[in-house]
Amino acid sequence: MRELDVLTAAMRKASEIVMKGDRSARDKSTVIGMYDVVTGSDILAEESIIADIRKEFPDDTIISEETNPDDKVSERCWTLDPIDGTMNYSRGIPFFGIQGCFMIDGEAKASAIYLPVFDEMFTATDEGAFLNGRPIHTCGPRPLKQCLVSTGDFSRRSQQFRDAQAVIFHDCYSDVARFKVFGASSVDYTYLAAGRVDIHIRFLNKIWDFKPGMHIAEKAGAVYDHELVDKYGILVMCSSEEVLEEAKKVLIPKFISIFRRA
């Protein structure tokens, strides 16, 4: 697919900026009560990817975290995050990625996430999900108590979210094997797609945070509760229908009650 070829080439080119560039962080204007950072590499990498896409598709809309965050989804539209996991990147923690997605009328058609430290390029189209060109799939069903669960570090967005994360880590602790917080959605989704974790839980927010990863994970076989997403914006994405069914019985009721009381 031409769009995917352009996206992956642009991301590999931008990765040179990221890996060799400015990691010094400065405070980023964000929601009251939250702390976030941006680096010089975020801006330069985003500008590089946008320029490469514009060369081939000059009329397409591009929604990007640093320079075009407020654009609306159009018929032909891209979403980009030049460094997902900037906090990790600025501290020398290797869990960060470059991610992007091409959409038609809001539906993902081609997605890519590149984890440059590990030289892992995850992609997805209608043909499936791939890691460095080889097909990948989520891991097979296993009992919930044997599942690895990754979750986003979303706790400061609101009191409800803080309460929900506390419940996830406390009340659900004995229901699963381990919790992992990688600090980058690019890692969370691709590790689910590649069978490295069994479940990913997060609150959906900005389109560049979730669209590429959800597309890749779904094409790799991951499933989720659509009603939970539509009603509360909570994603519980699982490696199989069997794992999802057990999660709906055991995990979800414990933290969804917080939102039902609100």
We report the CATH number of the domain holding residue 236 as 3.40.190.80
| Average predicted confidence (pLDDT) for the chain | 89
Domain check: are 130 and 148 in the same one? Answer: no
- Mean pLDDT within 50-57: 97
Q: What is the DSSP string of 53-109?
A: HHHH-TTSEEEETTTBTTPPP-SEEEEEEEEETHHHHHHT-S--EEEEEEEETTEEE
Residue 233's pLDDT band (cuts 50, 70, 90):
confident
Domain check: are 151 and 89 in the same one? Answer: no
Domain check: are 97 and 164 in the same one? Answer: no
Question: Where is the domain boundary, 107, 135, 163?
Answer: 135
Degrees to nearest 5, angle at CA 30 with 24 and 33: 105
- What does the pLDDT look like over 3-26, one tens digit per residue? 999 999 999 999 999 999 777 765
Question: Where is the domain boundary, 97, 112, 135?
Answer: 135
Domain check: are 191 and 230 in the same one? Answer: yes
Residue 190's pLDDT band (cuts 50, 70, 90):
very high
Q: What is the pLDDT of residue 256?
A: 79
Residue 150 tokens, joined: 């990754």
- Number of structural domains found in the chain: 2
- Mean pLDDT within 48-64: 96
Domain check: are 17 and 127 in the same one? Answer: yes
Question: Where is the domain boundary, 85, 114, 135?
Answer: 135
- Mean pLDDT within 146-153: 91
Element (H, E) at 112: strand 107-115
Closest CA to 206 of 109, 69, 71, 26: 69
Domain check: are 68 and 180 in the same one? Answer: no
- Mean pLDDT within 198-206: 90
Residue 49, pLDDT > 80, answer yes
Domain containing residue 66: CATH number: 3.30.540.10
Pick 82 or 28 by higher pLDDT.
Answer: 82
Domain check: are 163 and 74 in the same one? Answer: no
- What does the pLDDT look like over 71-125, one tens digit per residue? 888 899 999 999 999 889 999 999 999 999 999 999 999 999 999 999 999 999 9
Residue 167, pLDDT > 90, answer no
Determine the 3-state secondary structure of 31 from DSSP.
coil
Domain check: are 129 and 206 in the same one? Answer: no
Residue 90 tokens, joined: 């600025």
Q: What is the pLDDT of residue 72?
A: 84
Q: What residues make up the domain containing 205?
A: 144-261
Domain check: are 35 and 70 in the same one? Answer: yes
Q: Which of 56-65, 125-134, 188-197 has the lowest mean pLDDT?
A: 56-65
Residue 232's pLDDT band (cuts 50, 70, 90):
confident
Q: What pTM value is reported for the model?
A: 0.92
